Amino acid sequence: MKTTRRIIAPLVLVMLLFAACKTDDSTDIDPNALEDAASLVIEITSILRNQEISLRLVDDTNTDQTQYAAFYVNGTEISNSDFSASETGSYEIYARYNLAGTQTNTQTETVQVIVPKRKVLVEDFTGTWCGYCPRMTTAIQLLRAATDDVVAVSIHGNSAGGTVDPFTIPEGMFLKGYFEIPGYPWGLLNRNETWEFPHPTEDASQYAGLDTDISIAIDSQLIGSEMTIDVTVVSENTIENSRLVVFLLEDGLIYDQRSYYNEDPNSPWYDMGEYIKGFQHDDVLRVTLTDPLGDTLPTISALNMHSETFTFSIPSEYNSANLKIVTMVVNDDDSARNAQHAHVNENKAFE
């Protein structure tokens, strides 16, 4: 596995001053006419409050023509090609330029200014040989029915008696030992709290969707068997003494699951056999692209983006259509500050 990293240079923060801007009726466009049509290019379309992004005008030959453009936000011209806003909401942005003597507007793009929302992280320590483990599968299903702000990781392990789970990886067994997981199944919330039996939905959902300061974006591409994953972190406050964790998961893995609920009429697994045939295992931890506890992040100033790139060759036995990425930022005490997930080939913006 080869891992590379890159850092997006810090941006100079400038507040957007609408009071000094012109209206949509402005005709003060550079007289130099462009011979080719041009398009508005926006760095990212979901940002935090007061986070600054650059706006550009690019023609069909991919030449930057920003110097010949005026930029409009919600119908009002701004004084330069940088945008930020202190209020959340949707901002409609377009560029105006002179095309062969005619004032022309680009397509309108929408930028969302957000307050980051927290996703509750659930790490499910489980085993195909574990008769009580289907109850945690049910608990996660109920949690997902209650909120979309859930990131789940299923960490399989072998039994103490030596029974082998085919989805066990060494990093999963390391996490079991590190977090002193006493048995299976075991639910860990945000890496610092046990999801106690009988795993009430509200015990986990209370953390989901809360306002927080940090957000994570994921963008991945799979070409053949080669995967590239870009993970970008931004926060309203300085990030320090933190680590980044990146996992690759797989859904839809079929393997018989032992069950002690075959004779329990109150269980969704009632009358499905002592071994549930063709059981579908989702969120299965396949690969840790960082240290399982996370790789150290540099100090990241408030509202500056930090990006890291990971590359990985997908083994032939993996179903690439069922792969997804989970990433989290954790404190130095291992507690998760926030988490995010995305399917492969999905561009997941800041949320």
For the chain (351 residues), the mean pLDDT of every run of 10, in chain order, is 42 35 51 85 97 96 94 97 98 96 96 98 98 98 98 96 96 98 97 98 98 98 97 98 98 98 97 98 98 98 98 97 98 98 97 97
Amino acid at 281: H
Q: Identify the pLDDT of residue 85.
A: 98
- Write out the two tokens for 44: 């990212």
Distance of CA 331 to the CA centre of its chain: 17
Is residue 256 classed exposed, middle or buried when 0-12, 13-18 and 19+ CB atoms within 10 A define those classes?
middle
**In whole angstroms, what is the distance from residue 316 CA to residue 293 CA?**
27
Q: CATH 2.60.40.1080 occupies which residues in the chain?
A: 18-114
Q: Identify the pLDDT of residue 33.
A: 73
Per 3-state DSSP, the chain is made up of helix, strand and coil in percentages (nearest 5) of 10, 40, 50
Q: Which of 220, 218, 245, 222 is nearest to 155 (CA)?
A: 245
pTM of the predicted model, to two decimals?
A: 0.89
Strand-pair partners of 341: 326
Q: Identify the pLDDT of residue 110.
A: 98
Question: Phi then psi for 322, rounded to 5 degrees?
Answer: -105, 10
**In whole angstroms, what is the distance from residue 167 CA to residue 282 CA?**
11
Question: Does the domain formed by 120-348 have CATH 3.40.50.800?
Answer: no
Q: Identify the pLDDT of residue 9.
A: 40
Topology adopted by domain 18-114: Immunoglobulin-like (2.60.40)
Q: CATH 2.60.40.10 occupies which residues in the chain?
A: 120-348
Q: Identify the pLDDT of residue 223.
A: 97
- Name the CA radius of gyration of the chain, rounded: 24
Consecutive H or E run containing 216 = strand 214-223
- 134 contacts 269 by C-beta, under 8 angstroms: yes
Q: Identify the pLDDT of residue 32.
A: 64
| Residue 321 exposure: Cα atoms within 13 Å on the Cβ side | 1
